[in-house]
């Protein structure tokens, strides 16, 4: 966002020369700019808002460091985002999903079970470490997420919110024996940092490494297509988790709070 749109437009200006009208002109230009991926059409509302939030965040830091007296973005109306209706499986489709899942590997089954039971996002599942799983009490603790930057690679980011404890299905209790079996049979060479991850990828025979944060979504898309199931994003499993909790009688307020904390 900075390199392709923001800095070419205002990167030459001193911070104290950036006025509300400057921001207005910039966000109007961004709204009309082409997509990064070359596809037809304009950028999405959410991408548009991310640009505004990026600019505002930088200028707010400048305010806190006494570089400028105020953030000019505070006097500019932020872009509006039109949220579409989320897609989520109904009960019948969810049953079909879980039945098809039985034909997948243990790792893939566990990936979906953990996501549905916890309501966690892809990055949080990929950032999960064995130390965060309590097999005695059947709970997992969400404290961090896995992220990726081209210049930095895959790295862990600690959550700003308090840890979230979520239950997991009894089927996941097979994990320790599964890991030991895989470790012995494949002679996986793992250091403590990598082996600590609950979900890894086998890049070469005998080696493993942390998976990319978007890997669950990539696999899930292929899984649905292979089994003739309606396409929904992997993120929809988070909504399915909320639906199942409500169906079990958990108060809506508690469900909402839990999803707000897991992020």
Q: What is the pLDDT of residue 162?
A: 58
Residues 174, 152: contact at Cβ < 8 Å?
no
Residues 219, 109: contact at Cβ < 8 Å?
no
Residues 232, 89: contact at Cβ < 8 Å?
yes
Name the percent of the chain lying above pLDDT 90.
26
Checking if the pLDDT of 181 tops 90, the result is: no
Determine the distance from the C-alpha atom of residue 218 to the mean position of all C-alpha atoms in its chain, rounded to a whole number: 13
What is the DSSP-derived secondary structure letter of residue 215?
H
Q: Which residues contact 31 (CB under 8 A, 6 or more apart)?
A: 42, 43, 48, 79
**CATH number of the 91-261 domain:** 1.10.443.10
Average pLDDT across the chain, whole number: 78
Domain ranges of the chain: 2-75, 91-261
Checking if the pLDDT of 61 tops 80, the result is: yes
For the chain, helix, strand, coil in percent to 5 are 50, 10, 35
pTM: 0.63
pLDDT single digits (tens) 198-257: 777 665 555 567 788 888 999 999 999 999 999 999 988 888 887 777 777 767 666 666
């Amino acid at each position: 966002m900075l390199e392709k749109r923001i800095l070419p437009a205002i990167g030459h200006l001193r911070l104290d020369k950036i006025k509300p009208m400057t921001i207005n002109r910039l966000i109007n230009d961004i709204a009309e700019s082409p997509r990064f991926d070359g596809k037809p059409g304009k950028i999405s509302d959410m991408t548009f808002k991310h640009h505004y939030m990026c600019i505002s965040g930088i200028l707010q830091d400048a305010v806190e460091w006494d570089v400028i007296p105020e953030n000019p973005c505070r006097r500019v109306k932020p872009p509006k985002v039109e949220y579409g209706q989320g897609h989520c499986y109904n009960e019948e489709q969810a049953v079909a999903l879980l039945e098809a899942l039985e034909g997948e590997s243990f790792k893939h089954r566990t990936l979906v079970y953990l996501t549905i039971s916890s309501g966690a996002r892809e990055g949080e599942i990929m950032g999960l470490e064995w130390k965060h799983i309590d097999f005695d009490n059947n709970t997992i603790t969400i404290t961090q997420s896995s992220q990726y930057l081209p210049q930095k690679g895959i790295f862990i980011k600690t959550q700003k919110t308090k840890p979230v404890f979520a239950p997991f299905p009894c089927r996941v209790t097979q994990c320790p024996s599964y890991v030991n079996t895989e470790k012995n049979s494949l002679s996986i060479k793992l250091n403590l940092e990598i082996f600590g991850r609950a979900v890894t990828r086998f890049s070469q025979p005998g080696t493993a490494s942390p998976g990319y944060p978007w890997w669950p979504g990539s696999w899930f898309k292929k899984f649905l297509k292979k089994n003739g199931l309606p396409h929904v994003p992997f993120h929809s499993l988070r909504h399915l988790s909320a639906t199942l909790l409500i169906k079990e009688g958990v108060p809506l307020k508690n469900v909402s709070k839990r999803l707000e904390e897991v992020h």
